[in-house]
Chain A
Amino acid sequence: AQKITQTQPGMFVQEKEAVTLDCTYDTSDQSYGLFWYKQPSSGEMIFLIYQGSYDEQNATEGRYSLNFQKARKSANLVISASQLGDSAMYFCAMRENFGNEKLTFGTGTRLTIIP
């Protein structure tokens, strides 16, 4: 079974609109972390935001926020006021088992911002 599922292979969004990228996860652990990364065409992986399973509030970092719904096992990334530079691949990832820091990645969503 997929541990991280991103159901949107590609999305097109008008500049300045908000966009939500979906991510659902599957784990039996109580302690886990969820990450979002941005990968532009250059190939680098840019860390965007983190949500711990015990964090009571949704994480926010500038224009990025994470809509964490623990009971539904979803961790959607919300980008407000999208910009042309937001066009990239976006990956959701999960870290399970405290002490084992490896990340399991979803298949990614290619976001294209339209001027």
Chain B
Amino acid sequence: SAVISQKPSRDICQRGTSLTIQCQVDSQVTMMFWYRQQPGQSLTLIATANQGSEATYESGFVIDKFPISRPNLTFSTLTVSNMSPEDSSIYLCSVTARAGFSEQYFGPGTRLTVT
């Protein structure tokens, strides 16, 4: 199984600022994803991080608000821009080794509070 780390593990940020979350995997993976979990809610996919090209965003999420980078097969960043209290959530990185693989793993999450 893949070992995934995220930085920071938690942060408290002020309204209007930006935070960049890092996701590092201990092995090369085909696909990386970013999910958001708002308080008391389920997980919602923000985007698929594509290596060497622009991320693919889900409906309701835009690049200006959640810019994503993926420079190689083991690393990705998600930036939450111009934050508001509604952005307070857990942000989780997820990976799968290859398409159709039977296991998909999540990082430990970044718990973000916006004041």
Task: List chain A positions with a Cβ less than 8 A from chain B.
Answer: 33, 35, 37, 42-47, 50, 52, 91, 93, 95, 98-99, 101-108
CB distance from B88 to the nearest CB of A (A): 13
B106 touching A102 by the CB < 8 A rule?
A: no
Q: Closest residue of chain A to B105, judged by CB? A: A47
Q: Closest residue of chain A to B43, judged by CB? A: A105
Task: List chain B positions with a Cβ less than 8 A from chain A.
Answer: 1, 31, 33, 37, 41-45, 48, 58, 90, 92, 94, 96, 99-109, 111
A106 touching B42 by the CB < 8 A rule?
A: yes
A103 touching B108 by the CB < 8 A rule?
A: no
Number of A-B contacts (CB under 8 A): 61
- Those 4 A-B pairs whose CB atoms lie nearest each other, nearest first: A45-B106, A50-B102, A105-B42, A105-B43
Hey, which chain B residues are within 8 Å of A91, CB to CB?
42-43
Interchain CB contact (< 8 A) of B103 among A47, A104, A107: A47
Q: Closest residue of chain B to A31, judged by CB? A: B100
- Known pairs A101-B31, A101-B96, A101-B100 / 7 extra A-B pairs, C-beta < 8 Å: A37-B106, A43-B108, A44-B108, A45-B94, A45-B109, A101-B48, A106-B42
Interchain CB contact (< 8 A) of B42 among A95, A99, A108: A108
B106 touching A47 by the CB < 8 A rule?
A: yes
Hey, which chain B residues are within 8 Å of A95, CB to CB?
104
A52 touching B42 by the CB < 8 A rule?
A: no
A-B contacts, 5 listed (Cβ < 8 Å): A43-B108, A52-B102, A101-B96, A103-B33, A105-B42
